[in-house]
């Protein structure tokens, strides 16, 4: 808790306290024991940052090129290959039991928590109760809160260890509480479905069980880039002018985990890269500013070399790059827009 940002620490809120008191009565009627409720809500409270993050979510989505630059970065590929090698025995056993490719399970792990490095440390009871009280998606989060209490009552994890993202997604594979109740498994056989442990076995097996129970076909690839020799299926082109992909029924099963074509391609392509495949062969068109990915990387490199640090050169124009552009423009008495362009790139020669 000490490492959490200030806005993700409990603050006094009498209306929230009154809501919790009312909820505890409803939870008891649903079979949640008083001892569970007392342990669960000890030290919890209203988290203002959770509400801020929930309300500031936008419908903006990155291009597939930008998404894959992040989701299938060289760092994520290399860490994935290392994680796959480190847990090869467990992953093989999971594949044998559930029929889901070990590389696909590893890729989901990589996208959901960066192979366990970013599991989230926000107390789930505080997060889900705050969002249930806030009301924007109150019914959904009250269901998640009740499910979280059932997990505690089942003894899978003590309340102090039940942490996750600001929205209540938990563990190595970022299960929301209701999905956990439905799909999580005890692969290690210790009597607990522990997706929070440093040992990722239960979490990885739970992701595989999720895909299996949602219709995964053993031995069938997710798909692949058109022209790469992958299986035939439904052809999609998520970004106009970019690569096209053959997708199978297993691609649609991955989307049950996260209903996004970009996510499913990210999982599939990362799985292929972890298995030794190379980058996509097709190219993406220039962006709205007329810049290719190579141009954007060069822009970031040149800005950083001039002392305007973009915090990395991945070709994705995000907040850090825009801030660096604004600082550079101000230093040259140019209009401060934060917008990349060919002219900006040329001025950095």
CATH number, position 104:
1.10.530.10
> How many domains is the chain partitioned into structurally?
3
Per-residue model confidence as pLDDT tens digits over 259-273: 999 999 999 999 999
Q: Do residue 238 and residue 328 come from a single domain?
A: no
Same domain, 343 and 326: yes
Number of helices followed by number of strands (H, E) in the chain: 16, 5
How far is the C-alpha of 330 from the C-alpha of 213, rounded, in Å? 56
pLDDT at residue number 59: 55
Domain membership of residue 206 (yes or no) is: no
Same domain, 232 and 97: yes
Name the average pLDDT for the chain.
96
Residue 177's nearest CA partner among 186, 187, 167 is 167
Distance separating the N- and C-terminal Cα atoms of the chain: 47
Q: In this structure, are 11 and 157 located in the same domain?
A: yes
Q: Give the range of the structural domain holding residue 222, as residue numbers without chain letter.
A: 64-117+217-274
Q: What is the pLDDT of residues 146-202, one digit of tens each?
A: 999 999 999 999 999 999 999 999 999 999 999 999 999 999 999 999 999 999 999
Domain co-membership, 31 together with 9: yes
Q: Which of 159-163, 226-230, 243-247, 335-339 is predicted least confidently? A: 226-230
Of the three residues 274, 301, 320, the one that is the final residue of a domain is 274
Residue 190 covered by a domain = no
- Alpha carbon distance 301, 311 (integer Å): 10
Q: Are residues 299 and 342 in the same domain?
A: yes
pLDDT band at 58 (very low <50, low <70, confident <90, very high): low
Q: Is 20 inside a domain boundary?
A: yes
Q: Is 80 helix (H, G, I), strand (E, B) or coil?
A: helix
Radius of gyration of the chain (CA): 23
Q: Are residues 25 and 145 in the same domain?
A: yes
Maximum alpha-carbon separation in the chain: 69
Distances (CA, A) of 60 to 56, 67, 133, 218: 11, 12, 26, 35
Are residues 230 and 266 located together in one domain of the fold?
yes
- The answer as to whether 139 is a domain residue is yes
**Looking at the domain assignment, is residue 52 inside a domain?**
yes
Q: Is residue 87 part of a domain?
A: yes
Q: Are 246 and 233 in contact (CB under 8 A)?
A: yes
Q: Which of 334, 286, 327 is nearest to 304 (CA)?
A: 327
Identify the pLDDT of residue 60. 61
């Amino acid at each position: 808790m000490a490492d959490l940002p200030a806005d993700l620490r409990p603050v006094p809120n009498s209306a929230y306290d009154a809501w919790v008191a009312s909820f505890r009565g409803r939870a008891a009627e649903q079979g949640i024991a008083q001892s569970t409720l007392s342990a669960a809500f000890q030290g919890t409270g209203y988290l203002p940052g959770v509400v801020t993050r929930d309300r500031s979510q936008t419908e903006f989505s990155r291009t597939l090129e930008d998404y894959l630059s992040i989701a299938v970065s060289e760092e994520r590929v290399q860490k994935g290959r290392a994680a796959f090698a480190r847990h090869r025995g467990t992953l093989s056993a999971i594949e044998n039991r559930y029929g889901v490719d070990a590389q696909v399970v590893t890729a989901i792990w990589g996208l959901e928590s960066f192979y366990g490095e970013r599991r989230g440390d926000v107390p789930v009871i505080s997060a889900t109760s705050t969002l249930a009280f806030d009301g924007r998606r109150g019914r959904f989060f009250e269901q998640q809160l009740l499910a979280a209490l059932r997990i505690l009552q089942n003894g899978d994890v003590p309340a102090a260890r039940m942490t996750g993202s600001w929205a209540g997604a938990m563990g190595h594979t970022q299960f929301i509480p209701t999905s956990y109740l439905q799909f999580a498994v005890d692969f290690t056989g210790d009597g607990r479905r522990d997706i929070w442990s440093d040992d990722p076995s239960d979490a990885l097996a739970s992701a595989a069980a999720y895909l299996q129970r949602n219709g995964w076909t053993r031995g069938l690839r997710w798909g692949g880039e058109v022209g790469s020799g992958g299986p035939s299926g439904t052809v999609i082109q998520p970004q106009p002018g970019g690569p096209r992909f053959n997708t199978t029924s297993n691609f649609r099963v991955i989307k049950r985990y996260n209903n996004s074509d970009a996510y499913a391609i990210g999982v599939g392509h990362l799985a292929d890269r972890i298995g030794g495949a190379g980058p996509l062969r097709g190219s993406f068109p220039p962006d709205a500013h007329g810049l290719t990915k190579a141009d954007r990387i060069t822009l970031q490199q040149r800005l950083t070399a001039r002392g305007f640090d973009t915090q990395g050169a991945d070709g994705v124009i995000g907040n850090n790059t825009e801030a660096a552009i604004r600082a550079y423009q101000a230093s040259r008495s140019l209009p401060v827009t934060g917008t990349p362009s060919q002219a900006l790139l040329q001025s950095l020669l």
